[in-house]
Each structure stands twice: as C-alpha cells, then as structure tokens.
Structure 1
Amino acid sequence: MRRLSIISFKKILLNATLLVGALVSSLSQAELTFGIVAPSSGGAAPLGLGMQKGIESYFAEVNAAGGINGHSLKLVAMDDQYQPLQAARHTRQLIEDDLLAAIGNVGTPTATVTIPLHNEYKTLLYGAFTGAGGLRKAPPDRYVINYRASYLQETAAMVDGLLEAGILPEEIAFFTQNDSFGDAGYNGATQALASHGFGNIAALAHGRFTRGTRNIHQGLALILQAPVTPRAIIIVSTYGPAADFIREAQVDLPDTLFLNVSFVGSQALLDELGEQAEGVIITQVVPPLDADLPAVEAYRQALETHAAGSEPDFISLEGYLAAKLFVEGVKAAGADPDREAIVNGLLGLGSIDIGLEEPLTLGRNDHQASDAVWSTIITNGRFELVEWASLLP
C-alpha cells in the first residue's frame, strides 16, 4: 500500500508539474492583438494590402524571434473599402473586441470619422497611412500617433522643388479628390506657395473629382481652360483617377510635369500608366527601396522570408518601418501591456534610430515620428531621386 501511495503521489506531482508548465507556456505565448482598418478590396485596395503586408512581415519577424516578453503579435484586418461609414463600423467593432491599438489604417476621410472613436474609447490609432492635418493637431490628440511626414511637408517639398526648377507659382495647377484628403494636399501646397510670397492662390486652376469614381473629365477641362497654361500639376488622388488624369492630360499638355503625394500608391500608378509614367514625380515618406540602410535591408529580407513572391514597394516599406517603431513602443510598455501602457511606451521613446541612420522622435508634444520626404521621378520604369535644378531643359 505504501509503495502504491508513493507511486500515486509521484504521478499526481508529475501531472501537476505538467499542468503548471502548460499554463506557463500558454501564458508566455499569449497574443497581443492589434487591428488594421483599411481597404483590401475596391480601388484603394493596393494601399491597404500594402500596409498590411509590411506590418505582418515585421510582426512575423518578431514572432519568429520569440515575440515580445514571450507574447506573440497578431494583426486583425478589417476591409473598409475606403468608405468612412464602414471604417467607423469596423473600428467600433475592434475596439469592443478589446484590441490593444489600431495600426496602419489607410486614408484621410476614414480617419476623420474614426479619430473621435479612438479618442472616446481611449484606444490608440497609430501609423495611419495619411499625411492629413486632422491627425496632427496642436496640441496633439493623445490617442493619435503618426509615423510618416505630413501632406504639408510633402507638398512643401514639391513647391520648393518646382520653384528651384524654374517654374513660376502662377504656372502651377491642382487636381484633387473632392474631400478631406484632397483638401489636405491642396491646403498644404497653397500654404507652401504663400510662404514664398505668392498671394494670388485663387487664380490657380483647381480641378476636382469625386472619391470612389474615375470621373476626371470635368476637372481636366477646368485646368485646360486656365488663362495660364500649367507647367506643373499637383495631384492629390489614389492611383486610378490619377492615372486616368495623367494619361488624358498628356495629350494637351505634353510638356507639363505631373506630381503626386505618396498616398497615390507609387507602384500601382506605374503599373497603370506603363510607358506613360515616364517623368511622373511622386513624393515618398520612406527611403528609396534600394537604400543602403539597415532597416531597408531588413525589410527586403523580411519580404523574402515572410511574404514570398512579393516585390518591394513604398507602401509595404512604410508598413514595415511603422511596425518596427511601434514594436519599440510595445517593448517599452512593460511585460503585460495594456492600451494606456502602449501609448505611454511610444510617447516615452524620445529619439530612436530603428536602422534608418537618422533618429525618429516621439514625445508628449510630438506625435509624428518622421519628418523626412524623398522626391522621386519615374525613369525607365524605376523610381529615381529628383534633381530639381536640372529637371527642365
């Protein structure tokens, strides 16, 4: 009997040890869940899918290395089709499902309706794929933190470059989406022109089109009727309408420069235009894809490892870099981070280099990590840096 009791006790002890081990293992492998509300169908799908790919590639890299304090990272994707009402509905659903933060959401009109939800429910919106001023208030919203440079900075780079190239302010026109996205880009460019002393903004041709359509003809007609023939047109659009506009405008304006903000989707625009993309300018908020930088090299390797068959592009690179900085904030949030701890972790990072050889900065009064803008021009199917001074004959 005594021997059976000892054997039974050993079995109980072994089972208890296994159970405790399983519980510890389960806890150590608990997931930290984040969400992305972005288009994965419809005309803006390449933007949402690109951001998702970049974020998931970095999350996969972190998970393969053991996660964060034993926690794996999970991204839940919701398709809003670039429609504000759907974005609001999906955001509310994710918040109610206790996600820790939203990361990489796409678009200005969608951000406009979801920011109030993030503020109301004290849930972070981080690294949204938009440069609009509504995400960059002064003082900043606690629950809105940006990775990328603003549209104000992108369009200022365009205006500065065009003036350096010898184009006069009155020779600049605009073609923009008729909503808060288009307004953000247009207002940024006109502020830049005003900073150079140009005051007759109302005289500049400004064609518009409706979001979700490719009805570019009325806007194009307005620009073609301008009293001063534009030598440069700043476009604030997704890639589809932008491609249609450029393709048709080139017929009547063969010597005009066409400039786009990063949200256009560089590779998608190039694919749509083909040979007609030659000479089109796009501002970028991440480094060139072939940059000799540790973070960019790691991005290219992550795509090979975790997104087989994917070619590098500026959108997924932005998602990857935004996720890389985000993870530093999650690490700083402690062993078992909650929503507030992650916000505090990010805003407490201060100055940090994630492999770009230039520091990114976040703080209580600075909710935008990067101010960098790279101006690129499509040359022989490649994105090259623009040399403004020698751009025109």
Structure 2
Amino acid sequence: MSDAGKSGLQIIEATSASRVSGFRNCKHGAFSYRPVENLISEQLPEPPRRWRFLPFPWVKWVFRFAAAGALGVFAGFYEQAEGQFLSREHPVTSDEVKIGMSVPESGRIGGIGAEVRQGCAAYIAKVNREGGVAGRRLMLIDYDDRDEPIDTVANVEHLVDRDKVFALLDFYGTPTLQAIMPMVDDSNMILFGPICGSPFLAKPTERLIFWTRPSYEDEAELLVSHLVTDLSFRRIAVFRQDDIYGDEGKTAVVEALMNHGLSLQGDCTYVPSSVEAQDAAYQMAKMKPEAVIMFGSYKPCANFVREAKQFGLTKTVFCAVSTVGTELLIKYLVNGSEGVVISQVVPSPNDDSLPLVRDYQEDMRATGSVDFTYMGLEGYINCVAFVAGLRQVGRDLTEDALVDALDHLTIDFRVLKIQFSPDARVASHKVFLTAVEHDRAVPVARLKLPGSAE
C-alpha cells in the first residue's frame, strides 16, 4: 500500500483496473486504496457486475429473479441454504477494524449514497486522526449498489467473505435491506444504522440489527397530524414507489389518517426503475387532493410535483419523508420547491447553534467538503453512535461484546437522543418538521398554506 493510502481514513472501492489510474495488485484483488480526502467529493465510477463473486453460476439467476419482484422467494431460498454461503467469523486484527458499507453512489439515486458516505467517512477520518479506537484504526470498505437488491446481495457476500469486515453500517433502502436480511442472520453480522424506516424487516434478525432512525409510521403521523391540525386538511393522498418501500409508506399514512378519523383520498404509484411520473400526476390531479405525501426518491418525486402543478394542483401541499434526499429534491425541482414539506429524522445540518451540527460541519470541512446535508448528517450520527459502542467495548472486541455494549448505549445530543436497550432496537422516535423556503429545508413549528403571509 502506498504512503498516501496509509494517511487518513482508508476506503476501499470496487473498481475495474481499466477505470482507475494508479491501479495496483494487492492482497484484496482488484481494488484501489485512496485516502478519504480524495473520495469525499468524488463521484465513484459505476462498478462492474459482480457475478464473479458468487459461489455458483446459477445463483445469479436467483438474484435476477429476486430483482423482478420475488425477493421474498429468494429470502426463503437463502434461509434453506443457511451456512452454505457466508462466513460466521468476523475477527478484528490488532491494529484495524474493517467496517462494510453498501449504498447507492451511482444510478437513479446515486447522490443519496454519496451524501451518506461523506458523513460517515468524515467522522471515521476524525477518529483515525485521533488514534483510532483502543489502538485500532477504522477502515471503511465502501461499495456502490446502485439501489439494486441484486448488487447489494453481491456486495454483502463480498464484504463478509472476501473483505472480512467486522460489521455493516449505513445500508440504504427498504428493498435492498429486505434482500440481505437472511444474509445478515446467516453470517451473524451486526448491521448498524440502516437508513430505512421499516424496522419490521429486522424481526428475524433483531439481535444483530440496530436502528437509529424513527419508522415511516412516526414520519407519517407527524405529517398527517400537522396537515390536519394546522391546515384543517381532510383530502390527503399518497404518491409512492411501487414496491415494499411504497407499500410501507402507504400503510403508514393510512394508519395515521385513521388516527384522525380520515381515510386515504387517493394512491398513485411509479415504477421503481423509472423516474417518470406524468401518468401518476395526471391521475392525482383528477382526485384534487389538498395534500400529497410522497414515498419515493428525489427524481421521480420532483417530476411528480412539477407535472402535478402543470395539471392544476397549484394549491396542493406536497410532502415527502426523510429518505427522499432533501437537498437533491430541492435541486431537481429548480424553482418549484418552495413550500414543499419534508419530515426529517435529524436536525438541520445548517443549524450550527447545535453542538452536534457544529461537530459535523467541522469534521466535514476537515475532509475538504462544505456540502452539509440531512443524509450526510444521518450517516455521521450513525457512525458516532457505532464508534461509541466500539469505545465501550475497548480492546477485547467481539460481536457479542459489541452487541452487549450497544444494547445499553445512550447518547444525548440534546436535540436528539439515541437510546438502545435489549428490548428496544429502534433508538429514536424523534421526527422534525421542515418546509422549503428559499431553496433550503428549514425547521418549522407549524404548517402554513402556500402563499400565506402568516
């Protein structure tokens, strides 16, 4: 490894030799080692297909079948093959702890994964500058899954069996997480801080998974409550991704509406592999909802808002949940984001009156980045909490020791508290309300009608 690769945080990214300058053969195979300063603001190249990592050629067809919507069937198959694929031993060395991550860094929602990685990497770089944890440096091994379940499955197989990571951190998305749940259980691997509001997914493997964020039910309840209480709205509809993520979102909104004696006004969907929303916007316009709560990624949601307004929904309040990618949604809406409401699971990344946010901004600047985002702050908080667990264990680090430490972990950020227990693996139910004003999502105490001066 070069001297440059030894300075700062080490991140390993999957690449092909032809795409990486300075490529060298090393014990991990065709990978490049570069310090975090060179990766924080860099868009990673799209990695090659990883079928070569799979133990049997026919497994790739199982993964393709899963991608076609049969993830539940695949999960059952994987459980039947328990022990066949993944190592259950994850030791650490005397001077290093490897942490694995798979997030979308390219493809339809690539910007979201890049933000998460930047926040996490900024804190790990700080930890390493200060000497690591109990004499061990932290290495983040980061793969791009393009928000594709089949790629995420391949990445986990590689992280566990080839890279020999100790734990997984900051995985993003409901469909991708659903695909890897049997693998987490099979490998006896800790998964910390999934960026997903569906903790029900962890039921079979709840001993190993630690959720730092609230559920979609928490976010939907906050949005519906403010729409009903602040604006006296009664006609509330859903625009959603047509998969398990969207299904969970719709269910959460329906339950929140029932709590207020209301029913869902309408439900329109888009294909997960697409960013087109014109048909959904046209159908939604015919329903004339007062508000629409969106469960989707930033590009289709931005297209939906734009098209819906063109179809006449100029007074409708459009809402989104935290996983949309706030800053990216605002960017893609260009001048049409004013008044969009977004629930958040972390405080504003721009509020430097908060010690947590000041630390985040300082650590980001240390890596050369000033792109402060909600997703980046969530990745940062997850990493802070995970490292706090490592510090509690100290030198004698094992999976069981870390699980026990995390089971009793409490971190009070003042504006937000992370608190686990053996019976509570969802550490926070705190949801923040924001509205877009002058191209920035700012915290608000209550909602107001678009164009209102109050």
TM-score range, shorter chain: 0.7 to 0.9
Over the residues paired in the alignment, what is the CA RMSD in angstroms?
A: 1.8
Amino acid at match of 2:309: Q
Query: Are positions 1:367 and 2:425 aligned together?
Result: yes
TM-superposed deviation, 1:133: 3.7
TM-superposed deviation, 1:293: 1.7
Q: Aligned partners of 1:43 and 1:284: how far apart in 2?
A: 22
Q: TM-score, normalised by structure 1?
A: 0.87
Given that 1:331 and 1:345 are in contact with CA atoms closer than 8 Å, whether structure 2 keeps it comes out as: no
Within 5 Å, give how 1:55-70 maps onto structure 2: 55-70=120-135
Identity of aligned residues (%): 29
Q: TM-score, normalised by structure 2?
A: 0.75
Query: Are positions 1:184 and 2:248 aligned together?
Result: yes
Q: Aligned partners of 2:137 and 2:405: how far apart in 1?
A: 18
Amino acid at match of 1:386: V
Q: Which of the residues 326, 332, 339 maps onto 1:272? A: 332
Given that 2:347 and 2:415 are in contact with CA atoms closer than 8 Å, whether structure 1 keeps it comes out as: no
The 1:340/1:255 distance shift into structure 2, 3 A limit, reads same
* Runs of at least 5 residues in structure 1 that lack an aligned partner in the other structure: 1-26
2:237 counterpart SS class: strand
Higher RCO by CA contacts (8 Å cutoff, separation 6 or greater): 1
1:277 counterpart SS class: coil
Query: Are positions 1:119 and 2:185 aligned together?
Result: yes
2:293 counterpart SS class: strand
Q: Aligned partners of 1:357 and 1:283: how far apart in 2?
A: 15
Within 5 Å, give how 1:145-156 maps onto structure 2: 145-156=210-221
TM-superposed deviation, 1:249: 0.7
Higher fraction of helix: 1
Query: Are positions 1:311 and 2:371 aligned together?
Result: yes
Amino acid at match of 2:216: Y
CA-to-partner distance for each residue in 1:61-83, whole Å, 9 max, x for gaps? 11111110110111101111100
Report how many aligned residue pairs link the two structures: 357
Query: Are positions 1:302 and 2:363 aligned together?
Result: yes
Bigger radius of gyration: 1
Query: Are positions 1:233 and 2:292 aligned together?
Result: yes
Given that 2:418 and 2:428 are in contact with CA atoms closer than 8 Å, whether structure 1 keeps it comes out as: yes
Q: Which of the residues 252, 261, 271 maps onto 2:321? A: 261
Q: Aligned partners of 1:390 and 1:50: how far apart in 2?
A: 30
* Runs of at least 5 residues in structure 2 that lack an aligned partner in the other structure: 1-91
Amino acid at match of 1:218: D
1:16 is matched with none
Query: Are positions 1:101 and 2:167 aligned together?
Result: yes
CA-to-partner distance for each residue in 1:313-370, whole Å, 9 max, x for gaps? 1111111111001111111223131223222221122x332x3454321011111122
The 1:150/1:136 distance shift into structure 2, 3 A limit, reads farther
Query: Are positions 1:386 and 2:450 aligned together?
Result: no
Q: Which of the residues 319, 325, 331 maps onto 2:385? A: 325
Q: Aligned partners of 2:289 and 2:98: how far apart in 1?
A: 49
The 1:255/1:297 distance shift into structure 2, 3 A limit, reads same
Given that 2:277 and 2:307 are in contact with CA atoms closer than 8 Å, whether structure 1 keeps it comes out as: no
